[in-house]
Structure 1
Amino acid sequence: MCSPHLMHHVYEAFGRRRLSRRSVLGAVGAAALGATMLPAMATRAAAAPGDGRSIVDLSHVLSPSFPVWPGSRPFEMRTLSSISGGTGSLGSIGIPTGVFYTAELRLEEHTGTHVDAPAHADAGGVTVERIPPEDLVAPLVVVDIAAKAHADNDALLTRQDVQEWEAAHGEIPRRALVAMHSGWQARLGQPGAFTNQDRLGVQHTPGFDAEAVEYLIRERDIVALGSDTLSIDAGNSTDYGAHLAALGAGRYAVEVLANLDRLPPVGASVVVGAPTHAGGSGGPARVLAFV
């Protein structure tokens, strides 16, 4: 948002010259761009792959119908002001309504594609804004258990799966994010299939075996785990062994990843856009893979 001083002059110009809304927004954009162009260009240049790699978005689009952990609040979005309608309450803080589109969001931290900070399962663990930035950029390893999960919805990614992956692709690189691809994304179009609850409310979804997580931390020094389901633990878990093993060791998790089927088993890199609200146990994230 532009500064109130800048906006004051833009609105004065609007009144004097009867500029169109497009002209006003163009004036705002030009003024803001003049102050930010060089840093933005530098950031964009640094972030671009630059070596012919493509970018795969591993984040789901969040909407009120997106599945959440049973009992959690669904995502909500309420319009505060719209450009054409002029509705909302922005006028009360000095910004005329009808100029900007804005909305209010209501959601729990662990909604959609999101990060679990160590503090989510460890009282002494770091909160989400304290995850070191260098841990949010990592080599990306994808372990495919889709066939096993199709045959058994309660399937676990085991130490044997990890060892078989390494026999085929080499040793998992140090400080990697290891993601479980179970094929669960295909269930999003089927009502109830993503949470897959039985008549008692128990979820039947795949996850990591705690022994495999301990091995990955101890022997491969991974930085994080990822899953394409609502949890890195299997849905029927009662001890949450994967969470306790990973988060208790100071690692973080990224759950409900998208498009893992578009990635190679090894060779990609990942950037996790974790939120930075103080004291958070996690939060929605934009996650990008460079392939």
Structure 2
Amino acid sequence: MCHQCVIEGVKKTMLSRRALFTGAAATGVAGVAAGLAPARPALAQTGGRVVDLTHTYDSDFPTFDGEPGILTEEAVNFEESGYQLLKLTLFEHTGTHIDAPLHFSADGASVDELEPQNLVCPLCIIDITAKAADDANATVEAEDVEAWVSENGAFPAGALVAMRSGWAAKVGDPSFRNDEAGGLAFPGFATSATDLLAEQGVLAIGVDTLSLDPGNSADFAVHYSWLPGGRYGIEGLNNLEELPATGATIFVGAPKHRGGTGGPARVLAVI
């Protein structure tokens, strides 16, 4: 299929989704927690430019616990069999990946139970790169959310709000995960921000670091407050600097293994 045909196909799909979501019911946290798609506005008009928000990862990619998140083994050799096949040993929370509600709750939705319409969202980006340059454990606070709204207007219903800290550029360097003393150190969200986002009908949050919580968190407060409410998160986003603060649409290619707490995802933005 030609490149122009693909672009036109994307446009038609986006316009079709706009019509689908016009007049949808269920708003805010109650609707999300009940597994219902919140009312959402038209998705972004696009010129067809796709930005890959996903890191390529292997066994050297940094993980929260420091252990390899994926191991690769040759299962079938091309010279011997005429085709090739790899065997993967994979931990769910590695690379660019999704955190399902079940990750931090006893009975939350598993990754295969996430509603498909909740994986295509308006994307809003809160930039804290200046703050993170001075503090490795900087957080998105309520005042950052309020400042974003003051500048850009209200968050679209059903939006995914991503933190841009500049941390994606550190992948491959020890400072992506640790401070000079060896402790976990990276930016994340504060509950003051996520509580406010939940009140405003935001569906999901994302970070360009290893965790929704900052590295020095002792209680995973954001994980425990955000995910059990029926919402999800994405960790390890890439290339957020290529996108505007608002106006893009994010597509979350979540895995669908039964009972999963999350898993590696191919995440794309269209602008």
- Normalising by structure 1, we get a TM-score of 0.77
Partner of 1:266: 246
Partner of 1:70: 65
Cα shift at 1:197: 4.1
User: CA contact under 8 A between 1:142 and 1:266: conserved in structure 2?
Assistant: yes
Partner of 2:130: 147
> Is the alpha carbon distance of 1:75 and 1:202 closer, same or farther for their aligned partners in structure 2, counting shifts above 3 Å?
same
Task: Find out whether 1:172 has 2:155 as its counterpart.
Answer: yes
Partner of 2:192: 211
SS of match in other structure, 1:238: coil
Cα shift at 1:185: 1.0
Q: Which has the larger radius of gyration?
A: 1
Q: CA RMSD in A?
A: 1.7
* Cα distance in structure 2, aligned partners of 1:163 and 1:135: 24
User: CA contact under 8 A between 1:198 and 1:204: conserved in structure 2?
Assistant: no
Partner of 2:266: 286
Partner of 2:217: 237
* Cα distance in structure 1, aligned partners of 2:247 and 2:219: 33
> Is the alpha carbon distance of 1:45 and 1:75 closer, same or farther for their aligned partners in structure 2, counting shifts above 3 Å?
same
> Is the alpha carbon distance of 1:54 and 1:45 closer, same or farther for their aligned partners in structure 2, counting shifts above 3 Å?
closer
* Cα distance in structure 2, aligned partners of 1:237 and 1:262: 29
The runs of 5 or more residues in structure 1 that have no matched partner are 1-36, 38-43, 87-96
2:260 is matched by which residue type in structure 1? Answer: G
Q: Structure 2 matches for 1:1-291, cutoff 5 A?
A: 48-49=10-11, 51-83=46-78, 85-86=79-80, 97=81, 99-190=82-173, 192-199=174-181, 201-218=182-199, 220-291=200-271
> Is the alpha carbon distance of 1:114 and 1:262 closer, same or farther for their aligned partners in structure 2, counting shifts above 3 Å?
same
> Which structure carries more relative contact order (alpha carbon 8 Å, separation 6+)?
2
Cα shift at 1:100: 1.5
- Normalising by structure 2, we get a TM-score of 0.82
The runs of 5 or more residues in structure 2 that have no matched partner are 13-45
Cα shift at 1:65: 1.3
User: CA contact under 8 A between 1:72 and 1:108: conserved in structure 2?
Assistant: no
* Cα distance in structure 1, aligned partners of 2:140 and 2:7: 38
SS of match in other structure, 2:229: coil
Q: Size of the alignment, in residue pairs?
A: 234
Spell out, residue by residue over 1:15-53, the C-alpha distance to the aligned partner (whole angstroms, 9 max, x if none).
xxxxxxxxxxxxxxxxxxxxxx9xxxxxx7896246522
> Is the alpha carbon distance of 1:189 and 1:171 closer, same or farther for their aligned partners in structure 2, counting shifts above 3 Å?
same
> Is the alpha carbon distance of 1:275 and 1:169 closer, same or farther for their aligned partners in structure 2, counting shifts above 3 Å?
same
User: CA contact under 8 A between 1:140 and 1:178: conserved in structure 2?
Assistant: yes
User: CA contact under 8 A between 1:208 and 1:234: conserved in structure 2?
Assistant: yes
Structure 1 stretch 70-79 or stretch 102-111: which is displaced more?
Answer: 70-79
SS of match in other structure, 1:213: helix
Spell out, residue by residue over 1:77-99, the C-alpha distance to the aligned partner (whole angstroms, 9 max, x if none).
1111232x21xxxxxxxxxx2x2
* Cα distance in structure 2, aligned partners of 1:128 and 1:178: 19
User: CA contact under 8 A between 2:62 and 2:68: conserved in structure 1?
Assistant: no
Cα shift at 1:194: 0.9
